[in-house]
Structure 1
């Protein structure tokens, strides 16, 4: 009589330790993560265009003290000439000094908006 031994099945490896490790990692990342508050509304950020020439032909220069310059004039006469000569719908290129205070730039931009300028291109270096 030929009695065969039954084949021994290989024991299946338990995945419980792996599940435990995954849950521990999940808990660790949840605890250590910094949750940011939701944005109040969706904002589309402006993009910088590389290797594209500026659209504007007119350039307003601003020194570090906030003094505007346009076509060889500085100060109030420069602003008056700019308002007289420029079409307000065309973009105006503004080149401000790197050390110009933001408050002075904001005041100048507000003044340009009051004068009727619709679009201003603020130039930066790469």
Structure 2
């Protein structure tokens, strides 16, 4: 038995998949650039509302939580969360405006206490939402 007819192929090097990966990334980039420019332009006569002079004030019916955890509603101190929820005209929804320096753990604790007291939905009002 000879080795006639059988060729021994050398060790084949695997192709580098980086070229294919670069092509896919490039095609995705082109797709998102094209998709982003295909939106309809706004009506040229439309003038958007300017909020540059708008004063950001918390809504009057929101529960304000200070950085130290103290709570106020319409300027009055709130000592008991259950009494606060019971006094709400909309028992299903409570709006909360937390101080930026309030620790997140305290905000979660107060939110859970509001839900346990009967608030169906707790909405946190942020700076952009004002």
TM-score relative to the length of structure 2? 0.50
Q: How many residues align?
A: 80
Is contact 1:61-1:95 (8 Å) kept? yes
Is contact 1:57-1:93 (8 Å) kept? no
Shift of 1:84: 2.7
Which residue pairs with 1:123 in the alignment?
125
Match of 2:19 among 15, 25, 31: 25
Secondary structure in structure 2 of the residue aligned to 1:92: strand
Secondary structure in structure 2 of the residue aligned to 1:26: helix
- Select the structure of larger CA radius of gyration: 1
Match of 2:76 among 73, 78, 81: 73
- Unaligned residue ranges in structure 1 (runs of 5+): 1-19, 31-50
Is contact 1:66-1:104 (8 Å) kept? yes
- Unaligned residue ranges in structure 2 (runs of 5+): 1-14, 25-50, 52-58
Is contact 1:62-1:95 (8 Å) kept? yes
The reply on whether 1:93 has 2:95 as its aligned counterpart is yes
Match of 2:85 among 83, 86, 100: 83
Secondary structure in structure 1 of the residue aligned to 2:68: coil
TM-score relative to the length of structure 1? 0.51
Secondary structure in structure 1 of the residue aligned to 2:112: helix
Is contact 2:67-2:102 (8 Å) kept? yes
